């Protein structure tokens, strides 16, 4: 089930440095929301608050609310393990585990109690088919994931997240380390995935945001300048700074 996320008055601090200022945003289910903005604008920090990956960094603080399907996820008593099971994440650099392809896909499901071999086999096949990797690797599932090409590794990482049957998929510049052909495949994949998931994608590549996203949010210096339908943001932005950025005047 794709989730609906509502962010209210979100502030975020690394020590004394405030990286996010009063972010208010709604992320809709079965849509691709792209976060754009120059380096250091807070878009990656923001996406990492959605599955609380920032908890892993010492000295960070967060204020405000993030509500996932009616439940506030920033409270201390929230089980982050359970949260991350529902909110999957794909990283900038492909980061497969140094294990076999098969082991990579079943890592998450196994952690959460699925032990049945045929069920796991099925999950592997289904997840790899979802990312169009099945035909390429079905004969060598027990080989190291590190032997795959960068694009294949990234699709494997997406498959690994999908095997958890998440509601939300966060993607932090998933194609920035890939060649144009692999990038295209991932973009096609993301567009298919939105049928089932809520997708949030951080990208440096404005053409990519324009090509694949439904909603675009523009960040600058830790503030959300504006967000809305991608076609409006790219054709008639309300804010001068958005226009300057998308027309390439800075960033």
Partner 1 sequence: MDRINKKLGYIDRKELVIKRILQLFALISILTTIGIVITLFKEALVFLQEVSIVEFLTGKIWAPLLEPRHFGILPLVTGTMLIAVCSSIISLPLGLATAIYLSEYAPSRARKIIKPMLEILAGIPSVVYGYFALTFITPVLQKIYPGTEVFNAASASIALGIMILPMVASLSEDAMMAIPDSIRNGAYALGSTKFEVATKIVVPASISGIVSAFVLAVSRAIGETMVVAIAAGASPKLTFNPFESVQTMTGYMVNVALGDIQHGTIMYKTVFAVGAVLFIITFIMNIIAKLIVKKVGEAY
Q: Report in angstroms how near the CB of residue 18 gets to partner 1 at its nearest.
A: 23
At residue 15, the 3 state secondary structure works out as coil
Q: Which residues contact 164 (CB under 8 A, 6 or more apart)?
A: 85, 88, 108, 109, 112
Beta strands across the sheet bearing 5-14: 17-27, 5-14, 60-68, 71-72
Closer residue to partner 1 (CB): 89 or 189: 89
How far, in Å, CA of 187 to CA of 210, rounded? 11
Nearer to partner 1 by C-beta: 145 or 225? Answer: 145
Distance in Å, CB of 104 to partner 1, minimum: 9
Whether the CB-CB separation of 196 and 190 falls below 8 Å is answered with no
Q: How many Å separate Cα 52 from the centre of its chain?
A: 12
CB of 147 to partner 1, least distance (A): 10
What distance in Å separates the CA atoms of residue 185 and residue 175, rounded to the nearest whole number?
10
Q: Closest approach of Cβ 202 to partner 1, in Å?
A: 14
Q: Which is nearer to partner 1, 168 or 233 (CB)?
A: 168
Interface with partner 1 by CB under 8 A: which residues? Answer: 51, 53, 56, 58, 80-85, 88-89, 91, 93, 95-100, 107-108, 111-112, 144, 146, 157, 160-161, 164
Q: What's the closest the beta carbon of residue 100 comes to partner 1, in angstroms?
A: 7
Based on CB atoms, which residue is closest to partner 1, 99 or 211? 99
Contact in structure between 28 and 215 (CB atoms under 8 Å): yes
Residue 205: both structure tokens together: 């590549």
The minimum distance between CB 109 and partner 1, in angstroms, equals 9
SS3 234: helix
Which residue, 74 or 146, is less far from partner 1 as judged by CB? 146
Residue whose CB is less far from partner 1, 55 or 121 = 55
CA 28 vs. chain centroid, Å, equals 14
Strands 60-68 and 5-14: antiparallel
């Amino acid at each position: 089930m794709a989730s609906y996320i509502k962010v209210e008055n979100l502030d975020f601090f690394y020590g004394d440095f405030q990286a996010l200022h009063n972010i208010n945003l709604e992320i809709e289910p079965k849509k691709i929301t792209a976060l754009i903005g120059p380096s250091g604008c807070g878009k990656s920090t923001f996406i990492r608050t959605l599955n609380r990956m920032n908890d892993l960094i010492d000295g960070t603080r967060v204020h405000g609310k993030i509500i996932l399907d009616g439940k506030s996820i920033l409270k201390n008593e929230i089980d982050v393990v359970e949260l991350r099971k529902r909110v999957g994440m794909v990283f900038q650099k492909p980061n497969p585990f140094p294990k076999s392809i098969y082991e990579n896909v079943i890592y998450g499901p196994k952690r959460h109690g699925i032990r049945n071999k045929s069920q796991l086999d099925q999950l592997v096949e289904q997840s790899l088919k979802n990312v169009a990797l099945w035909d390429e690797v079905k004969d060598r599932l027990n080989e190291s994931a590190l032997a795959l090409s960068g694009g294949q590794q990234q699709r494997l990482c997406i498959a690994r997240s999908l095997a958890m049957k998440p509601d939300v998929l966060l993607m932090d510049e998933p194609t920035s380390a890939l060649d144009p052909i692999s990038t295209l495949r991932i973009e096609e994949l993301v567009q298919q995935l939105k049928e089932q998931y809520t997708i949030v994608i951080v990208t440096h590549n404005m053409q990519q945001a324009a090509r694949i996203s439904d909603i675009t949010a523009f960040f600058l210096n830790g503030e959300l300048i504006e967000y809305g339908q991608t076609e409006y943001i790219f054709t008639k932005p309300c804010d001068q700074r958005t226009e300057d950025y998308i027309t390439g005047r800075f960033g």
